[in-house]
Amino acid sequence: MPSVLVLHGFTSHPVLTMGPLPKALRDAGFEVAQPALRGHGTRPEDLAGVRYQDWLADARAAYRDLAPPRAVVGLSMGGLLAAWLAAEAGAEALVALAPALGFRNPLASLAPYLHWLIPRHAGESSILDPELKKRSPNYPWFPSRAFVELYRLARLTPEKLPRVEASALVVAAGEDTVVPRAAVRRYFELLGSRDKTFSVLEDSGHDMLLDRHRDEAARRVVAFLQEKLL
């Protein structure tokens, strides 16, 4: 049975933020692992002191426990971690949903210098549908120092992308207010994969698996992995 590692995003819940995707994968015949990356799934304060190396260690450990053939699916920050795993461990397939290779917030690049002055920051609005936004399981705020670690991870990821050889699907959210489409496109173009596809889920926010077209997002991922692994 092919196995899929599903990696959530920054401040996201390890299970709830992935919406219908895990069940859709299991129904399609995949074994699914959904690790909680350090500091997530509990309370925002638990992100304090966590480093990007901790998230990588958690992702690597979960990947090692999977039986081959293996695929990695990542949302936002998870899309960055998924690329590291694909580059290092030779996954058969990679799916990156709105990978956070860049940020719309104009203060993002100043985070390494400002986190002392602004120790905490409100969570970004990542869901387009106003009713679904009210039920978001994401943290309402996060320690600014934790975002510095995400920013560092994003700065280091481009050097990993050319080493990825796995078949790849990269999906951008049409109405993403967190990650600019140009950053998602750059992620795609830097991938070393010879077999790669770029797709846009229109009328959806950054958290596409929680937004109005969440079922379509899950369908695209499952269809891609069925083609490549089953």
pLDDT in tens, 210-230: 999 999 999 999 999 999 998
Mean pLDDT of 149-153: 97
Instruction: Give me the domain span that covers residue 183.
Output: 3-229
The pLDDT assigned to 107 comes to: 67
Residue 32's beta-bridge partner residues?
Answer: 4
* Structural domains counted in the chain: 1
Residue 110 pLDDT > 80: no
Q: How does 142-162 read in b/e, with b if 16+ C-beta sit within 10 Å?
A: bbbbbbbbbbebbeebeebbe
d(CA 93, CA 165): 9
d(CA 125, CA 129): 10
Q: Which residue has the higher pLDDT, 67 or 116?
A: 67
Which pLDDT band, with edges at 50, 70 and 90, does 116 fall under? low
Which pLDDT band, with edges at 50, 70 and 90, does 57 fall under? very high
What CATH number is associated with residue 60? Answer: 3.40.50.1820
Q: Which residue has the higher pLDDT, 1 or 180?
A: 180
Which helix or strand (DSSP H or E) is residue 225 part of? Answer: helix 214-229
- Stated pTM of the model: 0.96
